[in-house]
């Protein structure tokens, strides 16, 4: 990487800590400033990580900041990303890119006109596990993929998240909250989606917050479906069942993603993370592959529960800045995120209207992230482990 880039962050909430801590993993970026609508939150984060705590306007006015990460709430993503681009800086947003296709298209047009790059999480598909899955598919090990499934199922977050209410409102729910991880992983592996059909429901009209904090004991009104069953038809011909829910007490789907081809079946690990174990099942039996020796596949992040995962959030930003340096499109690009968003909104629309919904946009699969390039992104003194 020929340049080090100064980066600011707007939004100092729950996910900020992961981005700030993991920035030390990457050679090309240096966090220098943070901002939040709550100045006290910005000052607290600034003191914690040695960053300048600023208003959003002051951060965007800083001439030495090259790119800005947008970690605001989803309803603010489009407006804040637009302001970042208007300030002449590359923008990288948490998912989703926007809450409407109109806003997403406007952001893409704005970035193109300004000669800037726009990227969007999730970037987990760039991790060691999902890139290995991509290589296995591209090498023909699985054959032609005809069918598969993707499952995210739990009982919501009111027992652990101090402010779960936004997750149960229009613009969120499991489709727009967790769906981006699964759909991004699938589009990276299989290519663009052609059409979708879905049904949706909710089990409960309200939820009681049991997590510790100021909202404990309060009741959240549920304003959006919390279970969705969808069938995705890919342009390749693959048909994938996609199920997401905040209503399940438990399930037996041990493989978050399964892909079934003419030569083999491929079990893909959790797309919310960068590492994990892959399994190929073919005529010769079962073969397990691990990715611990890849640049961004090592299990490096230990949760309080003791569960260890691969966490390298910010990799998509690093790839975007490398793309800016080399005059190419980033892998976790705005175009990619717009297609993912259209699929997710299509699932919601299909369930509302009880019909198939065609996906108008298309997108090329992102270029694979070769291990030699991934190694370039990693700092020589990158921390090996984090306590989440």
* pLDDT tens-place string over residues 270-279: 999 999 999 9
Mean pLDDT confidence for 162-169: 90
> Is a pLDDT exceeding 60 seen at residue 300?
yes
d(CA 108, CA 364): 16
How many CA atoms lie less than 13 Å away from 195 in the CB half-sphere? 6
pLDDT on residue 258: 98
Task: Read off the pLDDT of each residue in 155-163 and give the average, rounded to a whole number.
Answer: 91
Which residue's structure tokens are 């801590």? 21
Mapped onto helix, strand or coil, the DSSP state of residue 312 is coil
Does the pLDDT of residue 1 top 60, yes or no? no
Which stretch of 3-7, 66-70, 314-318 has the lowest confidence by average pLDDT?
3-7
Report, as an integer, the average pLDDT of 179-183. 98
- Using DSSP's 3-state secondary structure scheme, residue 171 falls into coil
Task: Provide the pLDDT confidence category of residue 14 given band limits of 50, 70 and 90.
Answer: confident
**What pLDDT is stored for residue 2 in this prediction?**
58
Dihedral (CA of 218, 70, 21, 126) sign? positive
141 and 251 in contact (C-beta within 8 Å)?
no
- The C-alpha atoms of residue 252 and residue 307 are separated, in whole angstroms, by 19
**Contact indicator for 287, 373 with CB cutoff of 8 Å:** no
**Exposure on the CB side of residue 200, measured as CA atoms within 13 A:** 24
Which H/E stretch holds residue 91?
Answer: strand 90-93
Q: How far apart are CA 265 and CA 269, in angstroms?
A: 13
- Say what the alpha-carbon torsion angle 57, 165, 125, 60 is, to the nearest 10 degrees: 0
> Is the preceding omega at residue 81 within 30 degrees of 0, hence cis?
no
Which residues are bridge partners to 280 per DSSP?
266, 287
Tokens 């009982």 locate to 155
Q: Residue 222 pLDDT more than 80?
A: yes
Nearest to 25 by CA among 327, 316, 259: 316
pLDDT digits (tens, 9 = 90+) for 51-101: 999 999 999 999 999 999 999 999 999 999 999 999 999 999 999 999 999
Q: CA–CA separation, 27 vs 30, rounded Å?
A: 8
Whether the Cβ atoms of residue 184 and residue 270 lie closer than 8 Å to each other: no
Length of the chain: 388
Q: With bands split at pLDDT 50, 70 and 90, how would you rate the model's confidence at 290?
A: confident
Mean pLDDT of 240-264: 96
- Average pLDDT for residues 298-313, to the nearest whole number? 93
- Structure token digits, residue 382: 């990158």
Confidence grade of residue 188 (pLDDT, cut at 50, 70, 90): very high
| Residue 161, Cβ density class (10 Å: 0-12 exposed, 13-18 middle, ≥19 buried) | middle
| pLDDT at 254 (0 to 100) | 86
Comparing CA positions, the residue from 6, 63, 15 lying closest to residue 36 is: 15
Q: In the prediction, which pLDDT does 180 show?
A: 98
Secondary element (H or E) of residue 43: helix 39-49
Mean pLDDT, range 175-200, rounded to an integer:
98
C-alpha 18/C-alpha 123 separation (Å) is 13
Instruction: Determine the pLDDT at residue 295.
Output: 93
Q: Note the pTM of the prediction, 2 decimals.
A: 0.96
Q: How far is CA 46 from CA 19, 33, 57, 263, 352, in A?
A: 13, 7, 16, 53, 43
Q: Determine the Cα–Cα distance for residues 60 and 42; give it in Å rounded to an integer.
A: 15
| Nearest partner of 183 among 348, 375, 383, judged by Cα | 348
328-354 confidence digits (pLDDT tens): 999 999 999 999 999 999 999 999 999
Residue 316 CB coordination number (10 Å): 27
Give the SS3 label for residue 147: strand
| Percentage of the chain exceeding pLDDT 90 | 93
Distances (CA, A) of 311 to 38, 95, 157, 231, 271: 27, 16, 20, 29, 11
How many whole angstroms separate alpha carbon 312 and alpha carbon 132? 16
- What's the pLDDT at 78? 98
Instruction: Output the average pLDDT for the chain.
Output: 96
Residue 8: band (very low, low, confident or very high) from pLDDT cuts 50, 70, 90: very high
**Of 186 and 160, more confident:** 186
CA 375, 377, 379, 385 torsion: positive or negative?
Answer: negative
CA 206 to chain centre: 27
């Amino acid at each position: 990487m020929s340049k080090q880039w100064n980066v600011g962050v707007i939004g100092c909430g729950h996910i900020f800590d992961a981005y700030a801590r993991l920035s030390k993993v990457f050679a090309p970026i240096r966090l220098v400033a943070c901002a939040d609508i709550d100045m006290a939150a910005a000052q607290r984060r600034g003191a914690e990580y040695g960053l300048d705590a600023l208003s959003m306007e002051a951060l965007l006015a800083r001439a030495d900041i090259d790119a800005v990460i947008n970690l605001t709430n989803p309803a603010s993503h489009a407006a804040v990303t637009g302001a970042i681009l208007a300030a002449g800086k590359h923008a990288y947003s948490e998912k989703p890119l926007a809450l409407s296709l109109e806003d997403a298209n406007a952001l893409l047009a704005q970035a193109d006109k300004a000669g800037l790059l726009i990227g969007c999480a999730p970037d987990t598909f760039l991790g060691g596990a999902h890139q290995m899955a991509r290589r296995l598919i591209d090498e023909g090990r699985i054959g032609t993929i005809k069918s598969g499934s993707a499952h995210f199922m739990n009982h919501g977050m009111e027992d652990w998240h101090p402010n779960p209410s936004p997750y149960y409102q229009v613009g969120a729910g499991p489709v727009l909250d967790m769906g981006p991880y699964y759909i991004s992983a699938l589009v990276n592996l299989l290519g663009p989606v052609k059409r979708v059909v879905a049904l949706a429901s909710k089990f409960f009209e309200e939820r009681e917050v049991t997590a510790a904090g100021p909202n404990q004991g309060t009741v959240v009104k549920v304003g959006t479906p919390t279970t969705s069953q969808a069938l995705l038809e890919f342009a390749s011909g693959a048909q994938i069942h996609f199920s997401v829910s905040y209503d399940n007490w438990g399930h037996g789907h041990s493989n978050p993603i399964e892909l079934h081809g003419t030569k083999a079946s491929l079990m893909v690990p959790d797309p919310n993370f960068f590492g994990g174990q892959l399994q190929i099942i073919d005529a010769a039996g079962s073969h397990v592959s691990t990715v611990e020796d890849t640049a961004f596949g090592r299990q490096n992040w230990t949760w309080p529960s003791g569960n260890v995962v691969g966490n390298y959030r910010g990799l998509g930003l690093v790839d975007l800045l490398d793309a800016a340096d080399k005059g190419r499109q980033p892998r976790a690009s705005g175009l990619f995120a717009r297609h993912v968003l259209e699929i997710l909104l299509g699932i919601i629309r299909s369930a509302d209207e009880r019909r198939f919904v065609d996906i108008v946009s298309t997108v090329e699969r992102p270029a694979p992230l070769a291990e030699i390039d991934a190694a370039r992104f990693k700092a020589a003194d990158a921390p090996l482990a984090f306590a989440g």
